[in-house]
């Protein structure tokens, strides 16, 4: 509306000027170099305006012709970039969909259109991997490593390749480099921790764990347990190297972090007993026992005793049992001490109580042993053993990653290599008992604190490492083949 009014006003002004000029034509005479022009003022004005118009038009035409190639180039480049980005997007979709041929085609197109290697390199590497060309993928990752903006992606690609190929040394170096580039990234910290524990680099793994707990890569509770497990390994390592003070210091730190963790308490108690601190050692076991009775604690409690007299042992175990009166572990431990002291009545009494609490395989076996030791009653022993075969199993260490069963706790699963994955529980799905020759070499055998004079009387079928694997696996309901961890 406003524009229309303005147009009308302008039109009115032009018409008014025109009328004025027609009514007052005037006269102009130009005399130049012998040429004389006689005309009206209106005509002169018209001719001047037309000439200015023609000059302006000519100038625009000339500019247009001069700038044409640049504008054409710009439009063509924009079209190429657009095609490049489209190819990049389609390539990523093809990688996600596992379309190897499509990924390769789009990677080439994006590379040709964009000419921006940092942008297209990852797609090219992934396309090469999808096509099974690991060598080409490795070349791309290596090139990415050389540019600061893509170095982390390159490290990640090479690290994944190294882990898959089982190249532990290479993987460890790459994981360290990844940590130096991105120190807070959770998967970097958990991967580095996993590699360091597999390489038995306990000190470095502890530092990585602490960094990971700070950045939230490890939950506080799991982190604390992992740290206790690491400290136990450091304790065994220090002992192997002859650093007995360090061995004790690490065991104390582990037991302080997880006082009720049986391997930590029994390790500390044994080391304390070895330095003559029997009272203190006993306290460590009693504290852990009152939270969670466990056969490993009972074994350590027996071994750390300064008194080899079987009757004195019975007294000690009576005190231990009274701390958690209704727990079957206490009855079993006391019955064992009583059998060693040939107190058959007391042994039978506590085995009956254990049987009432939980009628397991181990209790029936001990009853068989008792029948044979007391009266030489082979027939009764055989009856008990028959019952043992059908009884429910006792708790055992079970790897929560692969389900492997182990009689003793290990920080590294002998089957799948997972760290601190053993849980003390009933083997609902038995898979495989770790065979002694497959156990990792890092942990030395625990020497007994006392000469085994008090323990040789007691047969411990469930503690003997030579138990046949078939006998052990038959406890399970199904057998499945564990897969090694993918790393």
Q: Which residues bind Zn ion (CB under 5 A)?
A: 399, 401-402, 404, 413, 415-416, 418
| Minimum distance, C-beta of residue 132 to Zn ion, in the bound complex (Å) | 30
Could you tell me whether strands 404-406 and 432-433 are parallel, antiparallel, or unpaired per DSSP bridges? Answer: parallel
| Minimum distance, C-beta of residue 200 to Zn ion, in the bound complex (Å) | 16
Cβ atoms of 141 and 161 within 8 Å: the answer is: yes
Q: Which is nearer to Zn ion, 282 or 417 (CB)?
A: 417
Give the residue from 332, 338, 296 showing the smallest Cα distance to 463: 296
Q: Which is nearer to Zn ion, 46 or 416 (CB)?
A: 416
| Minimum distance, C-beta of residue 191 to Zn ion, in the bound complex (Å) | 18
Report CA dihedral (406, 409, 411, 416) to the nearest 10 degrees. 10
Q: Which residue has the tokens 């080439």?
A: 108
Residue 168 to residue 172: CA distance in whole angstroms: 6
Residue 433, CA distances (Å) to 362, 422, 429 in order: 17, 12, 12
Cβ atoms of 291 and 284 within 8 Å: the answer is: no
Q: In this structure, what token pair is assigned to residue 297?
A: 């604690």
Residue 248 to residue 251: CA distance in whole angstroms: 5
Q: Which is nearer to Zn ion, 328 or 403 (CB)?
A: 403
| Minimum distance, C-beta of residue 244 to Zn ion, in the bound complex (Å) | 31
Q: Which is nearer to Zn ion, 95 or 431 (CB)?
A: 431
Q: Which is nearer to Zn ion, 402 or 430 (CB)?
A: 402
Q: Which is nearer to Zn ion, 288 or 413 (CB)?
A: 413
Long-range contacts of 44-52 (CB under 8 A, 24+ apart): 45/21
Tell which phi-psi region holds residue 276, choosing left (phi > 0), alpha (psi between -120 and 50) or beta. left
Residue 171 to residue 166: CA distance in whole angstroms: 8
| Minimum distance, C-beta of residue 429 to Zn ion, in the bound complex (Å) | 13
| Minimum distance, C-beta of residue 416 to Zn ion, in the bound complex (Å) | 3
DSSP annotation string for 329-379 = HHHHHHHHHHHHTT-HHHHHHHHHHHHHH--BHHHHHHHHHHHHHHH--HH
Q: Which is nearer to Zn ion, 380 or 416 (CB)?
A: 416
Cβ atoms of 340 and 307 within 8 Å: the answer is: no
Q: Which is nearer to Zn ion, 154 or 417 (CB)?
A: 417
| Minimum distance, C-beta of residue 303 to Zn ion, in the bound complex (Å) | 28
Q: Is 33 helix (H, G, I), strand (E, B) or coil?
A: coil
| Minimum distance, C-beta of residue 405 to Zn ion, in the bound complex (Å) | 10
| Minimum distance, C-beta of residue 327 to Zn ion, in the bound complex (Å) | 28
Q: Which is nearer to Zn ion, 53 or 484 (CB)?
A: 484
Cβ atoms of 282 and 301 within 8 Å: the answer is: yes
Q: Which is nearer to Zn ion, 207 or 483 (CB)?
A: 483
**Burial classification of residue 349, based on how many CB atoms lie within 10 Å of its CB (0-12 exposed, 13-18 middle, 19 or more buried):** middle
| Minimum distance, C-beta of residue 204 to Zn ion, in the bound complex (Å) | 22
């Amino acid at each position: 509306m406003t524009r229309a009014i303005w147009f009308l006003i302008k039109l009115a002004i032009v018409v008014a000027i025109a009328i004025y000029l027609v009514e007052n034509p005037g006269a102009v005479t130009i005399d130049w170099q012998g040429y004389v022009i006689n005309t009206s003022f209106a005509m002169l004005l018209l001719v001047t305006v037309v000439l200015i118009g023609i000059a302006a038009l000519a100038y625009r035409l000339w500019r247009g012709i001069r700038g044409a190639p640049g504008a054409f180039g710009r439009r063509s480049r924009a079209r190429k970039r657009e095609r490049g980005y489209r190819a990049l997007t389609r390539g990523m979709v093809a990688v996600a969909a596992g379309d190897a041929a499509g990924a390769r085609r789009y990677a080439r197109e994006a590379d040709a259109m964009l000419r921006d290697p940092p942008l297209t390199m990852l797609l090219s590497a992934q396309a090469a991997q999808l096509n099974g060309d690991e060598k080409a993928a490795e070349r791309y990752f290596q090139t990415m490593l050389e540019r600061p903006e893509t170095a982390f992606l390159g490290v990640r690609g090479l690290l994944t390749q190294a882990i898959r190929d089982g190249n532990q040394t290479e993987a460890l170096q790459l994981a360290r480099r990844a940590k130096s580039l991105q120190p807070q990234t959770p998967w970097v910290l958990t991967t580095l921790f996993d590699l360091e524990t597999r390489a038995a680099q306990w000190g470095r793994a502890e530092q990585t764990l602490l960094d990971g707990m700070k950045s939230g890569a490890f939950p506080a509770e799991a982190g604390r347990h992992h740290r206790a497990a690491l400290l136990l390994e450091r304790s065994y390592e220090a002992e192997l190297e002859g650093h007995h003070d360090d061995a004790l210091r690490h065991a104390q730190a582990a037991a302080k972090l997880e006082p009720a963790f049986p391997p930590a308490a029994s390790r500390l108690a044994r080391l304390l007993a070895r330095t003559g601190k029997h009272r203190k050692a006993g306290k460590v076991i009693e504290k852990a026992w009152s939270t969670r009775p466990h056969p490993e604690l009972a074994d350590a409690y027996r071994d750390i005793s300064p008194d080899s007299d079987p009757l004195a042992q019975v007294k000690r175990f009576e005190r231990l049992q009274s701390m958690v009166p209704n727990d079957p572990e206490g009855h079993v431990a006391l019955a064992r001490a009583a059998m060693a002291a040939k107190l058959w009545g007391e042994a039978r009494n506590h085995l009956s109580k254990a049987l009432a609490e939980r009628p397991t395989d181990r209790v029936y076996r001990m009853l068989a042993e008792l029948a044979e030791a007391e009266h030489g009653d082979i027939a009764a022993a055989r009856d008990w053993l028959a019952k043992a075969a059908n009884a429910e199993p006792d708790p055992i260490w079970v790897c929560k990653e692969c389900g492997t069963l182990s009689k003793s706790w290990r920080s590294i699963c002998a089957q799948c290599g997972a760290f601190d994955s053993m849980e003390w529980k009933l083997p609902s799905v038995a898979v495989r008992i770790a065979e002694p020759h497959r156990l990792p070499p890092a942990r030395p055998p625990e020497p007994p604190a006392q000469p085994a004079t008090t323990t040789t009387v007691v047969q411990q079928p469930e503690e003997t490492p030579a138990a046949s694997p078939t006998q052990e696996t038959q406890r399970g309901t199904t057998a499945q083949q564990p897969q090694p961890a993918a790393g």
